[in-house]
Amino acid sequence: MALVELRGLSKHYGSLAAVDNISLKVAHGLLVCLLGPSGCGKTTTLRLIAGFVEPSGGQIHVGDRIVSSPERTLPPEQRNMSMIFQSYALWPHMTVAENVAYGLTLRKIDRETIAKKLSAILSTTKLQAFADRYPGELSGGQQQRVALARALIVEPETLLLDEPLSNLDANLREEMRFEVRRLHDTYRYTTVYVTHDQSEAMTTADLIAVMNGGKIEQAGSPEEIYDRPRSEFVARFIGSSNVVKGKNLDQSRISFAGAALRCDGATLVAGGETAISIRQHDIRLLSTAPQSEENVVPAVVVRQVFMGGTRDYMVEAKDGTQLRVLAPAEQNIETGAPVWLHLPPERCRALMG
């Protein structure tokens, strides 16, 4: 178990900066998620940590060692890490047992210990019955578990996962999500997990680093990222928020579509313009005008769809801004009807940039 720290890490391919001066500190035994859309640099970051890619600038520290810097990069085999690949990368010419035991045989461990550890990890991952099969004879979920077992048997200091669940079907993915977390809690290695799926990140991570365009937009606990997004990108990417813009009225209010909105998160500079975000399910939909006018915006229903548990509304404010609102399923307001939106001040987050 080790602290993993990225200091001003960069990777350039020609003029393109795949990873652009990022810094991140992951304490012992934490599970951090690098979350972002494809092409945001998260996989490059992971491969930098693994040592497959050499940095153009900055450093990577593991424990008290510098493992990567532009001058010198420790080869992957000397880092005491494990990695689970998006493609699983199971060796087709080896059986499940051979695949899983590979890391131990490289470490020249005696046969009995290998056999003991092998049977232990195979039973943890429920693979005993498949020990002599070849990867081509397994289902996707079983292959995934072989990849997990192969990575965990060497008891790495650091475990890296590159979109490990993206090849599984929806049900299995949910199940494996908790499996990854359970194994992490059992062994407590430092884990870096790359994914583009925000619910995957929410359910597994201690720490989420949202990446965009080679940079870390925001790093924090899942609650922090969800409740207090700092940028429009994070607000939209995590749980798809509504983002509205308006002129600052004073230190805590902006004007939007003829109404004044009080918001939270930052002290506003008078005269400037600020974007605020609010979750779709945090907006309350009222079919009659409320008594208090604080944080109330009049609007018209553009369309609505029954979703089973909820009803998904698209409404349009006076200035033409469209907002999505998730309302209770029984609240059925027809298209074209006027509505009043209540945006609770504590749910309106002022965004930076």
Taking the complex as a whole, how short is the minimal distance between the CB of residue 247 and other proteins, in angstroms? 49
Among positive and negative, which fits the CA dihedral 239, 166, 201, 207? negative
Taking the complex as a whole, how short is the minimal distance between the CB of residue 29 and other proteins, in angstroms? 20
Q: Does 102 bind other proteins (CB under 8 A)?
A: yes
Q: Does 298 bind other proteins (CB under 8 A)?
A: no
Taking the complex as a whole, how short is the minimal distance between the CB of residue 129 and other proteins, in angstroms? 23
- List all residues 6 or more positions away from 182 whose beta carbon is below 8 Å from its beta carbon: none
DSSP per residue over 171-182, as a string?
HHHHHHHHHHHH
Q: Does 110 bind other proteins (CB under 8 A)?
A: no
Q: Does 292 bind other proteins (CB under 8 A)?
A: no
Q: Which 140-159 residues touch other proteins, going by CB under 8 A?
A: 150-151, 154
Q: Does 178 bind other proteins (CB under 8 A)?
A: no
Q: Does 202 bind other proteins (CB under 8 A)?
A: no
Strand locations in 237-321 (E): 242-248, 253-256, 259-262, 273-278, 284-286, 296-306, 310-317
Q: Site mask, other proteins, residues 32-61, x = CB under 8 A?
A: ------------------xxx--------x
Taking the complex as a whole, how short is the minimal distance between the CB of residue 89 and other proteins, in angstroms? 4
CA gap 57, 73 in Å, rounded: 12
DSSP per residue over 3-30, as a string?
-EEEEEEEEEETTEEEEEEEEEEE-TT-
Biggest alpha carbon–alpha carbon distance for the chain: 78
Judged by CB, which is closer to other proteins: 65, or 126?
A: 65
Q: Does 13 bind other proteins (CB under 8 A)?
A: no
Strands, sheet with 259-262, edge to edge from the N-terminal-most edge strand: 259-262, 253-256, 242-248, 273-278, 349-350
Q: Does 113 bind other proteins (CB under 8 A)?
A: no
Per CB under 8 A, residues contacting other proteins are: 50-52, 61, 64-67, 71-72, 74-79, 81-83, 85-87, 89-93, 102-103, 106-107, 150-151, 154, 160
